[in-house]
Amino acid sequence: MSEYIGVIGVITGSIGTATGIIALIRIYRKEKPNLKIEKVESSHNFTHNPSEKTHINFWAKFHVSNLGDRGTRINDIILSFRVDSKDYILKKQDFFRVPSVGLSAKIEKSIWLEAHDSSYFQVQFIQEYDSTEKEQIDCNFKIIHTHGSKYAKITSVLTTEHNL
């Protein structure tokens, strides 16, 4: 009889341990950052200098929300696009926090985004450019944060000045 009770105890203990581990895995999987890109705007222009090559300048403004239960740090943004069968891959220069009315922009190397919070920020990209100048360029943005990456696609529009 005591062996029977011992076997039941081992089985019950094993079931309890397994249930606890499964619960922890579910909590860990659920409680993490969950970035949602609410809005992206992008514009570009070209700079010409007789002594240098042509450069393309991009400005992109993002509104990103963290719907998850953990904060995360946005470390980088990569822009990729293709013109005239040539692939371009650009890394952001800096983050610019979009200020409240009347305040100047704050330059940052990364953006911390708390759980259940959102942020507006802007980034700039500059690259030598030797393709056809386009009025519209289909852009792919990869937002790299502490716990993974998020992607956004948008068409950048040619502008005569930086106006985001």
pLDDT in tens, 111-124: 999 999 999 999 99
Give residue 11's pLDDT band: very low, low, confident or very high (50, 70, 90). confident
Domain ranges of the chain: 1-30, 35-158
Looking at the domain covering 35-158, what would its CATH class be? mainly beta
pLDDT per position as a tens digit, 41-55:
999 999 987 777 899
Stated pTM of the model: 0.76
The per-residue pLDDT for range 82-114, each reduced to its tens digit, is 999 999 999 998 898 876 566 667 888 999 999
The 3-class secondary structure across the chain, one letter per residue, is CHHHHHHHHHHHHHHHHHHHHHHHHHHHHHCCCCEEEEEEEEEEEEECCCCCCCEEEEEEEEEEEECCCCCEEEEEEEEEEEECCEEEEEECCCEEECCCCCCCCEEECCEEECCCCEEEEEEEEEEECCCCCCCEEEEEEEEEECCEEEEEEEEEEECCCCCC
Bigger pLDDT: 32 or 146? Answer: 146
